[in-house]
Amino acid sequence: MKGDRTMKRICAYISVVVAVAISLSACQSQQQNVVRIGAAGPMTGDQSKMGIDLRNSVELAVAEWNQRGGVLGKKIEVLAGDDQADPKQAVSVANKFINQKAVAVVGHWNSSCSIPTAKYYSDANMVMISPATTNPQFTLQGFKKVFRVCGTDDQQGRIAASFALTSLRPKKVAIIHDKTAYGQGLADFFQKALGNGAEIVYYGGIVQRDPDYKAVLTAIKEKKPDVYFFGGIYPEAGRLVRQAKEVGLTIPMITGDGVYDPTFVNISGKAADGTYVTFGKDPAGLTTARSFNEKYKKIYGEPGPYSIYAYDAANIILTAIKETGSTDGARVAEYIAKNTFQGAFGDISFDTNGDVAKAPYVVWQVRDGKFIEVK
Amino acid sequence: MFVQQLINGLALGAVYALIALGYTMVYGILHLINFAHGEVYMLGAYLGIIVMGVFTLAGLPAYSLPLTIVLTILISMAFCALYGAAIERFAYRPLRGASKLAPLISAVGVSIILQNVVMLTQGTEYKNLPPLLPSEGFDLFGANVSPVQAFILGSSIALMVILHVFVTRTRLGKAMRATSQDRIMAGLLGININQVISITFMIGSSLAAAAGVMVTLYYGVVHFFMGYLAGIKAFTAAVLGGIGSIPGAMLGGFMLGLIENFGASYISSVYKDAFAFLVLIITLILRPSGLLGQKALDKV
């Protein structure tokens, strides 16, 4: 009797295992009927808006392709990966995408996340296009499958420095940065481009996420510079300009694309006015961007500063997959490197490093809480 | 620059001192390091933003800005007093007879729970409060004292004076001191120990809430993780001044604020947080009982 019951139980276990195995293999075969694209950026934490903007844009582009019947006769699926703006998390996101057999990735957002992950994607034969990574190092690592659709920090630093020297004519300049690959890199390029044009009276780092920057701002005030440059992102920039006014530092801040976001003004209120920011041209004025802007607004609300770049990056990848008839990373990358793409942001082509052929930076200024292009 | 850094440091130190008082009072009575205290400060800051938002919708700031700020602080303090009492009642009181480690672990647990509750209900991004008070204040020896700084210094010193009078001059204050000296003996003499402990938690938590609202006004940003570092810094301040000593916590808070500011401006802004902990280590080596702390006597 007892042996009989044990036998029955074993049979039941085996049948469950077999059933699970069959259903798993069914999943496996289904997996090959979709093309997966990763969207990676900070989706939680204080830079979460940037990662969510990025994911929204990729989803919008993919939804349009799926409406037209997908690519290579398959549906396209977006995998979202939250790197929390943390290089360690970014690597685990990369491994997750690789395990899920994604064919390409749009991301990451932060330079400190894109630079280390590029190797992982390249080794897994995936194409990587970052919509926002501006540190030059990103494309100089020798990987053939790595591209970016935005400008670089050396271009940005040059434009910021030449604007400062020709329009603001400062005698003394202070430079601070947030110690990240992006922030410190940008600050250094600005310093290099400034050359002997102005005396640098202060150079130093600040701690990201620290609520209080009054000590460093007071030290800067003491040196009496005419303008100060900040390499970093909007949460810190917002607190800096707000506290600068409180310690009586009234000179304007010059900063980079990481600060171009309405949240900067929300944090700092009136103190934001007068800040100079280097960023791409306004997509609202471009005829090619009109349809993107309308669709994005309808589904997700106002596009973020990098939404359009992420949308173009996703479209470039899908176009290349369609044209080459393959999801093989090397072939797709070769196609991307050799062709010009009509993006929402205009025509995009790449140089031998994988950077965009022409740098799109102009100088903006915050006036009455709005970013206005300085003509 | 020296005067400006002095003022910056004092304003920051006032905030540390207010939080440190909660640590030191609880430690004085229970010999427990209440690691959930930083989270109560964070709750106070969030309540400040929420209450301020409700008042703004009601149009109160347009009527009287000082009244709005004072009311916001009082409401946030009242709520956090209840939080403090509830934390003590549910997380520490059941463990009062247990080994010293048990309530400590319970405190860490409460801290994690509160952080995650706020993260799930309020989101992970920074919440902003636009600047309400003007940034240009009055001039003091070439330094700009902003209205917020003046307000933080004034109100936190007022709160500390009230606390001092309460502890030294009232019956309840006397009961508190008696409980901290010898809990069992105080109980035998007819002091309601549980009530005294509850009230201690309520006072400490409401001071942390006041600090939370002040910081929100000062920096304009709150975040669910903000209690962690502030809590550790305030704990450092309490140890620096001598944990268990109320004047010690005040002194320690102000000293820590000044050390951080002068360190960041004269040595290096990159290592700002490191100065606080360097001070903690040096204090523990040279004077383990803190600046104003009494040498712990072995109870026979």
Q: Say if residues B160 and B15 touch (Cβ distance below 8 Å).
A: no
Residue B279 has a pLDDT of 87
- What phi and psi values does residue A175 have, to the nearest 5 degrees? -130, 130
Overall average pLDDT of the A127-145 stretch:
94
ipTM (interface pTM): 0.83
| Residues of chain A found within 8 Å of residue B130, distances taken between Cβ atoms | 266, 269
pLDDT at B73 over 60: yes
Residue B299 has a pLDDT of 45
pLDDT at A2 over 90: no
Q: How far apart are CA A147 and CA A213, in angstroms?
A: 36
Q: Say if residues A297 and A314 touch (Cβ distance below 8 Å).
A: no
Residue A157 has a pLDDT of 93
Cβ–Cβ gap B261/A235 under 8 Å: no
Q: How far apart are CA A47 and CA A45, in angstroms?
A: 6
Sorted by where each starts, the structural domains of chain A and their CATH numbers stand as 32-150+306-344 (3.40.50.2300), 154-282+362-373 (3.40.50.2300)
DSSP letters along A80-110, please?
EEE-TT-HHHHHHHHHHHHHTT-SEEE--SS
Residue B87 has a pLDDT of 96
Identify the closest residue of chain B to A178 by CA–CA distance. B270
| Tens-place pLDDT, residues B217-251 | 999 889 888 999 999 999 999 999 998 899 999 99
Cβ–Cβ gap A235/B221 under 8 Å: yes
Residue B100 has a pLDDT of 86
Cβ–Cβ gap B269/A179 under 8 Å: no
Q: What percent of chain A has pLDDT over 90?
A: 75
| Residues of chain B found within 8 Å of residue A239, distances taken between Cβ atoms | 219-221
Overall average pLDDT of the B157-168 stretch:
95
Q: Which CATH class is domain B2-286?
A: mainly alpha
Among B135, B264, B269, the residue with its CB nearest the CB of A246 is B135
B122 near A CB under 8 A: no
Q: How far apart are CA A156 and CA A255, in angstroms?
A: 10
Identify the closest residue of chain A to B133 by CA–CA distance. A246
| Tens-place pLDDT, residues B6-48 | 999 999 999 999 999 999 999 999 989 999 999 999 999 999 9
Q: How far apart are CA B63 and CA A169, in angstroms?
A: 45
Residue B297: pLDDT band (50, 70, 90) is low
| Tens-place pLDDT, residues A221-266 | 999 999 999 999 998 999 999 999 888 899 999 999 999 988 899 8
Residue B300 has a pLDDT of 44
A177 near B CB under 8 A: no
Residue A302: burial class (beta carbons within 10 Å; 0-12, 13-18, 19+) = exposed
Cβ–Cβ gap B269/A266 under 8 Å: no
B144 near A CB under 8 A: yes
Residue B295 has a pLDDT of 62
pLDDT at A186 over 80: yes
Cβ–Cβ gap A210/B149 under 8 Å: no
One-letter amino acid for residue A23 of the chain: S
pLDDT at A73 over 80: yes
Query: Mean pLDDT score of chain A, rounded to an integer?
Result: 90
Overall average pLDDT of the A107-118 stretch:
94
Overall average pLDDT of the B60-71 stretch:
90
A241 near B CB under 8 A: no
Joined together, the tokens standing for residue A48 give: 């979460």
One-letter amino acid for residue A143 of the chain: F
| Residues of chain B found within 8 Å of residue A248, distances taken between Cβ atoms | 4, 136, 143-144
Q: What percent of chain B has pLDDT over 90?
A: 68
Helix (H, G, I), strand (E, B) or coil at B15: helix
From A45's Cα to the closest Cα of chain B, the distance in A is: 5
CA angle A31, A35, A38 (to 5 degrees): 105
Whole-model pTM: value is 0.82
Cβ–Cβ gap A46/B215 under 8 Å: no
Residue A29: pLDDT band (50, 70, 90) is very low
Overall average pLDDT of the B62-68 stretch:
89
